Structures are given as structure tokens and as C-alpha cells.
Amino acid sequence: MEKTLVFGHKNPDTDSICSALAYADLKNKLEITAQPARLGSVSKETQFALDQFDVEAPKLIDKVEEDIKEVILVDHNEFQQSVDNIKDVRIAEVIDHHRISNFETKEPLYFRAEPVGCTATIINKLYKENDVPVSKEIAGLLVSAIISDSLLLKSPTCTQEDVDAAYELAEIAGVNLETYGLELLEAGADLSDKTVKELLTMDAKGFAMGGEKVEIAQVNAVEVTKVYENQKDLEIEINQIIKERDLSLFLFVVTDIINNNSEVMALGDGSSKVEAAFGVTLKNNRALLEGVVSRKKQVVTALTDMFNK
């Protein structure tokens, strides 16, 4: 039997896990044997969603085995965010909502990227295009992904399509969007048992900006000041990461899910780019970025512009 593997990016967030589960479900209903997988551990937020809708986490993999015929990437396309042996496998499809970069194929494929807030919104559309009804469980996973990526519809990445999909899916899933949404975000913002290292890696992504290497880690929090209680330990760990990976900048973004802004900490030679990009002054390596909640739409674009100057 020809097997197709469906997975999201490394350091998977709720969208990467839930979209992989949902898209594999859609493929199976279309009689294509697909298995969901994940490239990293399940976050508390994602686990809350899986528990709520009684769905098991997809299988953890660190490479694509030889018996896999082809793969489908969801929620990412850049090879450095994908499985390590991505260049050795046939990519049959990509379903994504990010910029396209460091991606290529030898043959034509199905590539569906849309500038919406969440991959799950596109997958909901694909169920409709294929005339397959969304089950209660899958609706629960998809609405969880949208809540997570859009910070309960408050992120500037959130489009009308995401809003419409979220309300529609919440109804199928049998949850109240606002109540369940806040519960889900709070589950993810519970950082009480996280080590310093975990805070810096649980949702970290690497970027190439103007020839420099930049890493941006983001966590959601209800009480931002609590996260910075161990600032000295965070700094020691970040400086070590900077040295190991030869980074120009490590930016730690702590996003306040109640007030919808972010307190960031910047270390590395490129720290001044943060000040220039957001018109702030770093004090004790930190600054408050009013209204900034989206790494993709607000942080990466502003920093890329500064590094390209």
C-alpha cells in the first residue's frame, strides 16, 4: 500500500498538529491512505485541544522512513522548518499560509497557499471543495488551530475567512468560541512548569535576514512579569544559543494574551535592529511592543526590512 505522510513544522504549534490530523482525515475519506505525523512534542495548548475532542496526538517522527511514498506538508514550506531528510522525499502537496522561501520540487505538485491567518481555515475550505462533511472531532481540532494562530481572532493575521470559519467550526464542534477559546489559550499560557530552556525552544523559529541569522522564540502568557522572574537565567541560555548557532539576534517574545501586546527581550549584535524596527528603546534588554502579537506579520516583516537596509 502506498503511504502518504502528513505533517506540520518543527516545534509544532496547535495549527501544525491539528491541520496534519485533519488533512490526513480528509485524504482518508477521499480514499487516499494518509497518516498524520509530528516533528516535535505536543504543547500544553495542543494537548488541551486533543483532550477536549478525544483525539490522539499524531506519531512523532524525526525522519521520513523509506516505506513512505510521498509527503504532504501543512503549515510550512521552508525546508529548514521541515523534516531533516525533506530533500530526499517526494512532496505531493503543500497546504500553507506562510511566505514561500527555501522550497523547491523537481516535479509539479499541488501547492495551496493562501494569505489567511491559519492553515486550518484553508483545510476547512478543502473539505467543502471535496464535498466531505467535517466531523465534530475534526471541527474541534480546526477551530482550536484558528483560535491558537489568531489569538482568539485578535491577531492582525486574522482575516474575515478565519473569523467565518471559526464560528462555523465552533458550532459543529459544539463549543462556545469565546469560552473555549480563552480556556485553550490559558492552557497554552500556563508556563509554570517550563524550564528556561523549554521557554526558549518550545516555539522558536530560525530566519535568514539580510545575510544574518535570526532566531525568534514566542510564548503566550497571562502574567508576563512571571516569565521574566528568571531573566538572568534566560540571558545566560540565550547567549549560549547565540554563540552555538552564530546568530546576529535572538528575540524572545512574550505575548500577553489578555492585553494583546508583547514584552520582548533582545540579545546579540543585531539587538539595535529591534529598536529601529519598532521605535523603542531596550531597557535591561527588554521593551514593550504595544499591539504586537504576530511573529509572522508584525515581527518578522519589520525586522527583515531593518536587516535589509
Interaction pattern, residues 112-131, with a second copy; x per rule: CB under 8 A? xxxx-------------x--
Alpha helices in the chain (DSSP H): 14-29, 44-52, 119-129, 136-150, 160-173, 177-188, 196-201, 224-227, 231-245, 271-278, 301-308
75 annotated to bind ligand: yes
Among 38, 97, 205, 295, binds a second copy (CB under 8 A): 97
Among 105, 179, 225, 272, binds a second copy (CB under 8 A): 105
| Contacting range for a second copy; rule: CB under 8 A; set: 9-17, 48-56, 98-106, 134-142 | 98-106
- Establish if 88 lies at the interface with a second copy (CB under 8 A): no
Coil, helix or strand at residue 208: strand
| Cα–Cα distance measured from residue 253 to residue 202, given in angstroms and rounded to the nearest whole number | 12
| Cα–Cα distance measured from residue 68 to residue 229, given in angstroms and rounded to the nearest whole number | 46
What region does 68 belong to: left with phi over 0, alpha with psi -120 to 50, or beta?
A: beta
Nearer to a second copy, 150 or 304 (CB): 304
| Contacting range for a second copy; rule: CB under 8 A; set: 19-27, 97-105, 138-146, 192-200 | 97-105
Per-residue buried b or exposed e for 171-203, using 16+ beta carbons within 10 Å of the residue's own CB: ebbebebeebbbbbbbbbbebeeeebeebbbbb
- Establish if 79 lies at the interface with a second copy (CB under 8 A): no
- Establish if 193 lies at the interface with a second copy (CB under 8 A): no
149 annotated to bind ligand: yes
Q: Site size for a second copy, by CB under 8 A?
A: 23
- Establish if 296 lies at the interface with a second copy (CB under 8 A): yes
Crossing angle for the helix pair 14-29 and 119-129, nearest 10 degrees?
A: 10
Three cell numbers written together for 302: 519589520
76 annotated to bind ligand: no
**DSSP character at residue 72:** E
| Contacting range for a second copy; rule: CB under 8 A; set: 4-12, 109-117, 181-189, 228-236 | 109-117
CB of residue 108 to a second copy, shortest distance in Å: 4
CB of residue 92 to a second copy, shortest distance in Å: 9
| Cα–Cα distance measured from residue 241 to residue 159, given in angstroms and rounded to the nearest whole number | 35
9 annotated to bind ligand: yes
| Binding footprint of a second copy on the chain (CB under 8 A) | 97-115, 129, 296, 301, 304
